[in-house]
Structures are given as C-alpha cells and as structure tokens.
Structure 1
Amino acid sequence: MASEPNHGGSRSPSLEDDNEKRNTIATTTLSANAASKDPDAAFQDVLAHTQAGEISEAAVVAEGAEHTTWFVIGVVACCSISGLLFGYDTGVISGALVSIGGDLGPAELSDGQKEFITSSTTLGALLGGLAAGALSDITGRRPVLGLADVLFIGGAIGQAVCHTVWSMIGCRLLVGLGVGLASCIAPLYIQELAPTRLRGRLVVLNVVLITLGQVIAYGIDAGFENVPHGWRWMVGLGAVPAGIQAALVLILPESPRILVRRGDIEDAHKVLGKIYKGAKAEQVELKLRVLRAAVQQSIDIANSTTFLERIRSMISVPVNRRALIVACGLQAYQQLCGFNTLMYYSASLFAEIGFDQPTAVGLIVAGTNFLFTLIALRWIDVIGRRRIMLWSAPGMVVGLVVASIAFHFMTRNTGGQLVSGSHYETGWSAVVLLSMIVFVASYATGLGNVPWQQGELFSLEVRGIGTSLATATNWGANLLIGSTYLSLMARITPAGAFGFYAGLCFLGWVFCVGFFPETAGLSLEEVQVVFRNGFGIKESRRLREEKRAFRIKDEAEAEKSAGRV
C-alpha cells in the first residue's frame, strides 16, 4: 500500500516506523507448515502475513517448489522463444545492412535510410509495448504471444521479399510491434507460471535467450554474408522460430491469474497442480485461495481509483515518484550508453575499420554479451543490484574512452572520419575491438539485466503504470540512439561520438551512486519504506543488515530446536 504523501519534507524515522519495518521483515515469508493447518486458519494466517501490502500466493511455500518440473521447463522454453526472436531481430539487421547493397533501389543505402530501417523496429516495439499490458488483461497472455508470432512471421517474410526501402521499413515496423508485445508479455507469462522460488531466475532466462538470439543472428549473418542476396535469408529465417512458438502456444495453458479473473477456478487449480507437482493437495488449494484473494485485491484497487488518478499519484505521491525516477533513470541509462548501436551497426563499423569478415567479428561481440549475461544470472542476487551496477559501469566508461582514443589516432589521415576503402592500422582496429569487448562484458554484467527488475520498485496500485512508463522510456531512448548514431558519427566524428557515449555512461554511474538503493532481498513493503524519506541508499543497507541478522538468529534457533529433538 502506498505511503501517505510526505508534505513536511524529510523527517527522522519514528519508533512507530521502526516497529513497522521490523514487523514487515518478520512477516513477509510464511512457513510451509501453514498448509498443514485447518484450511481456513491457514488462509487467514496468510492474509495476516500479507495484510500490510500486496497479497501474493508466493507467501505459501509448497513442497518441491525448488525443483523444476518438465511442465514448467516446457512452458518456459516455449515462452523464451520470444526472447530469442527479440535478440535475433536486434542482431540480424547488423549483417543485413552490410549486405543489402543496391537491392532496395538504384543506389546503396544512405546513412539516413539505414537509420530509418533500424529505428522503425524500435518505434513498433514502443507502440506494441504500450498496448501489450492492457491487451493481455482483456484477451489473456497466450493470445498476445500468438499475435506477436503472427506479426513476426509476416514481418520476416515481408522483409525477405521486399524491393523498396519503404516496404522494408514497413515490414520492420511490423516486426517491431511483435517485439514490443512479446518483450512485455513473455516475462510476465513466465512469472505467473513459474514456481515461486524459481521465478526470478526463470525470468532472467528470457534475457539470456535474447543474447543467445543475437549470437545466432550474427552466426547466420556470417554464413550468408557472401551469398548473393543473402540478406533476404538472414531476415526471412526469423519466421522459423516464430512459427514454432505459434504452434506451441496452442497447447500452452493460460496463466492461473487470468483463469481466476475469468472465474475458471477448476482450470486454475489444474495448472497450479502441474506447476507445484510435488506439493501436497492442501498446499495447492491454499495457493489457489490466496491467488483468488490477490486477484480480487487488484480488481478492488482498479475499481477504487481511475486511471488518471493512478497516473497523477505517480507524481504526487513521493514514494511513487522516487520509484519512477529510479526505474526510468535506469532504463534510459541502459539505452543512452550506446550499447544497441553495436547490436545494430557493429558489422558496418567493423567493415569500415578494416576487418575482412565484419559479421564474424560482430559474432565475437555478441558472444561476449551472451557469456557475461550468464555470469550475471549466476551472481546478481549474490552481489546485489546496486553493487553490481557500481562495479560494472566503470568498465563501460573505460571501454568507450579507449575506443574514442583509438578512433582519434586511427582517423588522423582521413579528417577524423571513417572512410570506406581506407586502410587503417591493424593495431588500432584491434584496440577498438578489444575496447568493445570490455564495454559489452561490463554492460552485460550489470546494466543489461538490472533495469528489468523494475517491477519490484512499485507498489501494487501503480505497478502496471510504473513499469509501462519505464519500459516506454527504454524504447524511447532506444529509438533516439538507433536513429541518430550514424548522423552523430558523421557530425562529431567517431572519436567524438564514443566520447559522448562515455560521458553519458559516467553520468549514469553518478545517477546510480546517488539514487539507486539496493533492493535485492527486500519485500515490496520494505522497498516502499526505503523510498519514504528519500532514495534510501543507507536505509536499504540497514534493512538488509536487519534481515540478515533475523535470518541468522532464526537459523540458530532452528538448529537449537533440532538438537533438542
């Protein structure tokens, strides 16, 4: 529940605040033993433990929830094809732009046309992302994924057979709509179908599949680079995984949350039983009862306020406003650092600086992104979101600064510009490649993952609006970067452009230092406490230390009790 607006400015935490925090810390996790009580008593116990904020079936611990069933593996694998498609489309355009030549007109593509072709997908994704949430609440998650696949297939085939720049742009816009729908709904669908204890890791798996899609795209680009009209195969092959997912979506179950909203309680119970296959019947039943209460809570919240009132509360309520600043700031930082310019234009860049196989070299960059995303998946919860951001961002700055210096010395004889056909020193080209590897490795470790944890920053009342605004910020910044990169390179030179991105990266790091609290391991209510009197850098650290102390104490008492037995 959102806090009351703090009209009096900053104030010292009272004893009441401290007690509330301690109660929140002590009651956010319900013991698995609750399900063995009388069902009504267990249900009331859950509500008592969650009455301070959002009701969630995650409060009920089911036996075997830490083990992944084949049902969950199949569902997540199918949904993650959306991430693969997202990554494939991001990566494939890099090689296609190098190979198109004059196939779309009498002359080769101009820089402006390349920017239009690239950014049209981002524009489509922005529009699709804004519509995805509301559309999926009406139709369900499955139909939206199916619609995204239809758009992917149509756009991919359209690109493969088009013969004009504008038809290419239109087909890319179509693919972008699919990207926007899928990138919003696939993680949500996974989250609603995955066991509680595995949700975070399985959602991040979708991010891993995005980077794998980029690797596959660069591999296919390299394979068709020297094939006549090979770019048509590059873009057209994107229809294959989309077709596979479209077929699999037909046999996927609907989200239990959507089924409950429709009143289809029996099917919701069946799906929960498959998700928690090792759980006792009473535990599954309790999860269903709590899920029904949670759905009713969200309906009550939606009915109690208008959409405009919730929009207004994002600004007028200090807790919501601070959460929005952090979420939008991180998403803007993720794009304004310039990472996606590498995904879109790396083959063109490496061709200009003298590499004979630019697409194959781009595969090295995409592979680095994939590898370090896997590393982030393993360590992000251990190290913490804030710490991993503060540690990885300097590596991004260093990589971009070194690239800027290399471009400066490399282009001294060509007026500071990269000129196609010029022979640049191999040593400087190697320095650019190494600096890009450092930049991408640092990005994938922190900034590539952390901003997508944005849902944990917002209270239930405004979570949908908050995450939509933050995601729109991401796509908007992506559109800005993708549509200006080549023009920026031409106007302020490659050295100036990469120096500019380095400056934006440094400003992003400063933003994280001053405004981004550590949220790993904190409950929804605790995050609201963190944002109550500022951005809560020290407060989040104190709450985490208190939780750690409580956990150590509980473990010691449990061991002592076990010793008595």
Structure 2
Amino acid sequence: MVADMCVSIKAGSSDYLEKHPERRISFSQNFYIIGVTFAAGIGGLLFGYDTGVISGALLYIKDDFEVVKNSSFLQELIVAMALIGAIFGAAIGGYINDSLGRKAATIVADICFAVGSLLIAVAPNPTLIIVGRFFVGLGVGFASVTAPMYIAEVSPSEIRGGLVSVNCLMITTGQFLSFVINYGLTRVPGTWRWMLGIAGTPAVIQLVLMVFLPESPRWLYLKNRKEEATNVLSKIYPSPRLEDEIDILEAHMEQEQKDKVKVKYSDVFKLKEIRVAFICGAGLQAFQQLTGISVIMYYSPTIIQLAGFKSNESALFLSLIVSAINAGGTIIGIYLIDIVGRKKLTLSSLIGVVGSLILLSASCYVRGHGNPSLVYGWLAVAGLALYIIFFAPGMGPVPWALNTEIYPEEFRGICGGMSATINWVGSVIMSISFLSFVDAIGLGESFMILLAIACVAIIFVIFYMPETKGLTFEEVSNIWKEKAYGKDKNIESMVETAST
C-alpha cells in the first residue's frame, strides 16, 4: 500500500510529467475543462460586474437622491454594503462548499445575485438600494470562494494556475462590461436602475447551467461518491493518467478515513502547518485590497473627477479605458502564471504598483495644493492606468489562485472562506474610508498611504510566499510541513496525528 501510494502520488507532478510528457494536458486538448471553467467563471463575471458598475451608477444615484449627494457616508455605505454582504457570504461559503458541495454553493450565490439585482432595480429610496446591495454582496462572497475552488479541483496541475486565473479574467471582463454598459446608458432614463439591475441576467444563466455541470471530483471522493467522481475525472483525463489520478484520490480517501480528522475553525490556528499556510494565503488576500484595487475600481470615475475631469461622461469614458487595461492585463497573467510562477509574478506586479502609486500620489498632491494645470490631471489618469497594468497580471489573479492550492483538502473550504472573508474585510475598510480620508487629508496624501502598504507587501512576499508553480496539492502540502517542522522527515504532521 505504501509503495503504491508513493508511485501514484506523483501523477500530475513535475517528475511525473517529465517521465510521461505525452500525458501532459494543454488548454487546447480538452474543451470540456474549458467549458466547465467558463461556466463556473460566470460567478467571477458577476463579481467583477458589481465591482465596476457601482462606480458609475453612484454618479446617477446622487443625481436622483439629494440626500445621497450631500452625504459622503451614504455614498460609502451604498458601495460598502455589497462588501459587507460579501464578508458574510465568504464566511458562510466555506462551510456550504465543504458540506453541500461546490454546485450548491454556486446556486445559492446565483439566487442572491438575482434577488439583490431585482430589489435595486425597483428601489424607491436609498434604503432599499442598500438592502439590495447586501444581497448582491452575499452572492459575490459565495462566488469569490466557490468559483476558484471549483475550477482548481477540476483542473490538471500543469494548467491549474492558468485556469483559476480565467476566473480572474471573468472578474475583469465583468468590470470592463460594467463600464461599457455604464457609458452606454448615460442618456437612458432610469440610468442607474438599468446599470445595477442587469446583473440578475447572467446569474439566472449560470443557475440554469449549474444543472448540467458536474460536482468537483475531489469533493465527491471525500463524500465517498466514487462512481460519480470517476465519471467526472474520465472527462478530464485520458487513460492511463486517469487511473493514476484515481489512485491519488483513493489513497487520499484512505488516509482521511484512517485519520478521521474533524476539522474545526480553531484547528486553522492550532495546527502549525495549516497556520503558516493560512497566514500566507490570508496575507496575500489582505494586501490585494490594502494596496488599493477596490479604491481604484469603485471610485475611478470619482478620482478622475477630483483630478480635474468634471463631467460624468468624461469620467466614465476614461474609467472605461482603465477597465479595458485591467482585462488585458489579466489575460497576460493567465499566460504568465504557469510559466513565470506565482512568486515572481507577484513581486514584479507589486514593484510596478509602487511606481504607479508614486506617480499617482505626486500628481494628485500637486494638483490638490493649488496647481490647476490639467497636465497633472492627465498624469493622475496615467498613474491609474499604470497601476492597473502592473496590478492585473500579478496581484489580481495570484492571491485567488494560491488560496485554491495551498491548503489540504479537508481545510480547503474553511481556509478558502476565511481568507476570502479577509479580502472582503479589506475591501470594506478601503471603500468605506477612502472618501473620508480624501476629505480629511487630501487625494494625493491618501494614495501615499497605499504606497506605504505596497512596500510592506513586497517584503511579505519575499520572505513568506513559496513558489507553487506546477506542483500537485500534495507537494504543496509538503512545503508547509517543512516550513512548520523543518526538513526532518521523521516529524509527523499535526494534521495526521490530531486524532491519535
């Protein structure tokens, strides 16, 4: 049994694929995987659409409701309520994913999206807008946990990073579409109602598609539904690799039954190897938000107006260009993540973010301190564009991709949900405080705070983030065991001994 496990566990690893290059799977070889990825990625599309659409809709909500126009707090609350909903959705989403499966979690997300979008579209006052935003946020939270996890678990290890990054492409595509729709609806009666209500359509489409999509084979195996899992795997892997992948899941299941580890939230912090993995995953999610991406995406039209471009149409058009750059950068990230690797891509991304924030903060500072020249306004727009150019390929997809592959199977739902919750908490902090900070200390000074955080993020990645490119889930697990207990092969994992 031990010998068999040692042989089969290599399926999908770099050594295995070097010995059997003919068993390597490329993007173009299996359209089933691509179809499942894009269908699951509709959750990312909805996630991105909501992120982008509110930035333009807010301009018109202020026009319709004087009380919103006169209150920075109400504006921040309308933006942040979806993020507050996302915190709850992400926290609950981990449990639903582990207990009911990835399909059920996706269906719940779609229902929340549809209900929230309908409430907003018919809202007679800001209060119902805020309630609808909370329901949409619940859907966003579920989707942020479920979509990347689901995609990772149906993906061969050699293209897993790229496929998970497709979810990020769907997010940025959703953001881009939101700005296109925002710009196209600028002269349509009920502008913001159409902008925010349209999100219900793709949610309904995905809900229908989920009837035909398979459940994650890894989740099915853990639930002892082996025949269903094998049927799904047979559509992903050709023989003989299929048999090797089944052997891995079988060995993993035997180990699970032997250990009978009942996972609790407290175990994430009690078990050293899980704790160090979670610090890495949660830290990357936190830095993704604290370096300012939510500020850029939620408030880019407002920032552009503060930089000197006063009309709604001009602000939305320039924001549309920034969003298009975001989608293009994510496509580059999909190509690079499994070639360059997660760590190098993240470091290069953060270094570029630091440079762009220097330009952005300096130009906004000069304009905010008495220089009315529109040159500094254009420099600020250039800083926004550069920020997205560098952020999108690395810090956009990597935190989500890494969090799908650094935790053992039994902890993946809980840790993925917790780290996504931290991401959303960071997003709430940034979105609900940014305009207040701008009012208090100025636009340029606010971007200087983001600059300092980005510098700290670089240090964190250098010293704490491992490279996981091309590794199987089991090989990644061994990285954390070494970090937790050193390279002494005689040291047994606390996860494996927790039940003894």
In the superposition, the TM-score normalised over structure 2's length comes to: 0.87
- Which segments of 5 or more consecutive residues in structure 2 lack a partner in the other structure? 488-500
Taking a change above 3 Å as real, the CA distance of residues 253 and 308 of structure 1, as seen in their structure-2 partners, is closer
**Structure 1 counterpart of 2:291:** 337
Higher relative contact order (CA 8 A, sep 6+): 2
Deviations 1:204-237 (A, max 9, x none): 1111111111000011011112323211111111
Deviations 1:503-538 (A, max 9, x none): 11112222223333434345225413552478x9xx
Taking a change above 3 Å as real, the CA distance of residues 386 and 267 of structure 1, as seen in their structure-2 partners, is closer
- The 1-side partners of 2:103 and 2:408 are apart by 26
**Structure 1 counterpart of 2:268:** 311
Among 204, 214, 217, the residue aligned to 1:256: 217
Report which stretch shifted further, 207-216 or 404-413. Answer: 404-413
**In the TM superposition, what is the alpha-carbon distance from 1:469 to its structure 2 partner?**
3.0
Among 300, 305, 309, the residue aligned to 1:351: 305
Instruction: Assess if the C-alpha contact under 8 Å between 1:350 and 1:358 holds in 2.
Output: yes
**In the TM superposition, what is the alpha-carbon distance from 1:63 to its structure 2 partner?**
4.2
**In the TM superposition, what is the alpha-carbon distance from 1:464 to its structure 2 partner?**
4.1
Report 1:519-558 matches (<5 A): 519-522=468-471, 523-528=475-480, 530-532=482-484
**Structure 1 counterpart of 2:433:** 484
Instruction: Assess if the C-alpha contact under 8 Å between 1:58 and 1:196 holds in 2.
Output: yes
Taking a change above 3 Å as real, the CA distance of residues 204 and 139 of structure 1, as seen in their structure-2 partners, is same
1:502 aligns with 2:422: no
Taking a change above 3 Å as real, the CA distance of residues 210 and 56 of structure 1, as seen in their structure-2 partners, is farther
Instruction: Assess if the C-alpha contact under 8 Å between 1:459 and 1:528 holds in 2.
Output: no
Q: State the secondary structure of the residue aligned to 1:531.
A: helix
- The 2-side partners of 1:483 and 1:229 are apart by 26
Taking a change above 3 Å as real, the CA distance of residues 142 and 306 of structure 1, as seen in their structure-2 partners, is closer
**Structure 2 counterpart of 1:290:** 248
Query: Which structure has the greater CA radius of gyration?
Result: 1
Taking a change above 3 Å as real, the CA distance of residues 99 and 329 of structure 1, as seen in their structure-2 partners, is same
Q: What amino acid is the match of 1:358?
A: A
- The 1-side partners of 2:247 and 2:186 are apart by 56
1:386 aligns with 2:335: no
Taking a change above 3 Å as real, the CA distance of residues 258 and 88 of structure 1, as seen in their structure-2 partners, is same
**Structure 1 counterpart of 2:229:** 268
Deviations 1:173-210 (A, max 9, x none): 10011011111111222222234433222111111111
- The 1-side partners of 2:222 and 2:279 are apart by 32
- The 2-side partners of 1:286 and 1:513 are apart by 35
Among 189, 193, 199, the residue aligned to 1:232: 193
- The 2-side partners of 1:384 and 1:283 are apart by 24
- Which segments of 5 or more consecutive residues in structure 1 lack a partner in the other structure? 1-42, 415-423, 537-565
1:78 aligns with 2:47: no
Report which stretch shifted further, 213-222 or 157-166. Answer: 157-166
Among 270, 277, 282, the residue aligned to 1:328: 282
The number of residue pairs the alignment matches comes to: 473
**In the TM superposition, what is the alpha-carbon distance from 1:297 to its structure 2 partner?**
3.2
**Structure 1 counterpart of 2:491:** none
Report which stretch shifted further, 187-196 or 500-509. Answer: 187-196
- The 2-side partners of 1:299 and 1:345 are apart by 50
Report 1:58-457 matches (<5 A): 58=12, 63=23, 65-66=25-26, 67-104=28-65, 108=69, 110-276=71-237, 279-280=238-239, 283-298=241-256, 300-301=258-259, 303-305=260-262, 307=264, 310-314=267-271, 317=272, 319-355=273-309, 356=311, 357-413=314-370, 424-452=372-400, 453-457=402-406
**In the TM superposition, what is the alpha-carbon distance from 1:308 to its structure 2 partner?**
5.6
Q: What amino acid is the match of 1:374?
A: I
Instruction: Assess if the C-alpha contact under 8 Å between 1:400 and 1:498 holds in 2.
Output: yes
- The 2-side partners of 1:124 and 1:310 are apart by 26
Q: What amino acid is the match of 1:100?
A: I
Instruction: Assess if the C-alpha contact under 8 Å between 1:269 and 1:285 holds in 2.
Output: no
Q: State the secondary structure of the residue aligned to 2:106.
A: helix
- The 2-side partners of 1:521 and 1:263 are apart by 27
In the superposition, the TM-score normalised over structure 1's length comes to: 0.77
Instruction: Assess if the C-alpha contact under 8 Å between 2:98 and 2:413 holds in 1.
Output: no
Taking a change above 3 Å as real, the CA distance of residues 483 and 296 of structure 1, as seen in their structure-2 partners, is farther
Q: What amino acid is the match of 1:524?
A: V
- The 2-side partners of 1:427 and 1:312 are apart by 51
Report which stretch shifted further, 428-437 or 62-71. Answer: 62-71
- The 2-side partners of 1:508 and 1:454 are apart by 17
RMSD of the TM alignment (CA)?
2.6
